[in-house]
Each structure stands twice: as structure tokens, then as C-alpha cells.
Structure 1
Amino acid sequence: MPREISQRELRNGSGAILEAAAGGEISVVTRNGTPMAELRPLGERTFADTDEALRAAARMPPVDSARLRDELDGALDQEPFGE
């Protein structure tokens, strides 16, 4: 069960609360006893390595640059380069 902390506790003890979150603790922040937000640790970030990204890009279909530009110009409803 998440630990409840008041808005004041968060303001005055944010360092300790963030350390607890880094350790896996989940806290619910309350204002006047009403739950307002949940503070939880972030999951592990994962990144693709260069070789994996290049393999994925090689499997993508080619881009028709003229068509892409036309679609973007239409979506943005602007003249390119202020023309």
C-alpha cells in the first residue's frame, strides 16, 4: 500500500521522499487529505544500440520526400520558407 504524504511533507522533505522513491517506494501526495498525485520510481530506461537501430531502419520503406513535404505543408497550412 502506498505511503500517504501531505503537500507540506513533500515540500519540506522532498529529498528524503525522492530517495525513498529511488528505493522503490510509492507515495500518494494529498492536499487537505484528498489524494492529488502519485509519486513512483521510474522504470529502467532501455535504448537500442546503433546496430539494432540501423537494422530497424533498413527494414523501413523508402520515404518519398516530395510527397512527405506536400503532406506536411498541407497539415501545417503554411508556405515553405515564407514564400
Structure 2
Amino acid sequence: MSVQPEITQRDLRSRSKEIMDAVEGGSAFTVTRDGHQIGELIPLRRRRRFVSRAQFAAVSRNAAPVDIEAFRVDQEAAVDQDHGDPYER
């Protein structure tokens, strides 16, 4: 477990832009007041919306192989083949 650098409340107040830029960049800090730890500044986890083709390919290399015929059999078994005409009464 890595130890977060400590910053005082006064440092946070006087160097807020620098510290917040560091947090935005992934750094975390423990805030102290009168020598006592009172809180943590940590970056928010951001969900990635897009994955590049190269990243997808890299992750997919370790995926289990898919048996296409078995997949189709499973799909057909799960789908109601006799759904009928939805507009027919």
C-alpha cells in the first residue's frame, strides 16, 4: 500500500490550484490540521466511454473461444420461434 503525501490545510488553501491539478492528474493527498489527519483528496474514478480497437484486441486475446454453432443453438432455444403476427387478433 502506498503512502499518500500529507498536505496541511494551509498548503491546501495557498496552493489549491497546484494541488487540484495534481489530483486531476491522478495524485492523492492526506489533508492535516494541527498535525492530525482530517481527510483525503483523491481523484474521482471516471468511466471510460470508448475503447480503442487496439485496446479491445489486447483484452480479447485472453478471452475464451466461442463455439459459433453452440451459440446459435442457445440463441434459437431462447427465442420464441412461434411468436405469431403481433398485429393479428
Q: Residue 28 of structure 1: which of 27, 30, 36 is its match?
A: 30
Tell me the TM-score normalised to structure 1 length.
0.53
Structure 1 residues 7 and 41, CA gap change in structure 2 (3 angstroms): same
Is 1:42 paired with 2:44?
A: yes
Partner Cα distance (1:40, 1:22) in 2: 9
Structure 2: 5+ residue stretches without partners: 50-89
Q: More helix by proportion, 1 or 2?
A: 1
Deviation at 1:12, TM superposition (A): 0.2
2:33 alignment partner AA: R
Q: Which runs of 4+ in 1 moved over 3 A?
A: none
Figure out how many residues of one structure are paired with residues of the other and give that number: 47
Deviation at 1:46, TM superposition (A): 6.6
Structure 1: 5+ residue stretches without partners: 48-83
Partner Cα distance (2:10, 2:38) in 1: 13
1:32 alignment partner AA: D
Deviations 1:33-70 (A, max 9, x none): 100010000010478xxxxxxxxxxxxxxxxxxxxxxx
Greater CA radius of gyration, 1 or 2? Answer: 2
Cα RMSD for the two superposed structures: 1.4
Give SS of 2:38's match: strand
Aligned partner of 1:61 in structure 2 is: none
Is 1:3 paired with 2:28?
A: no
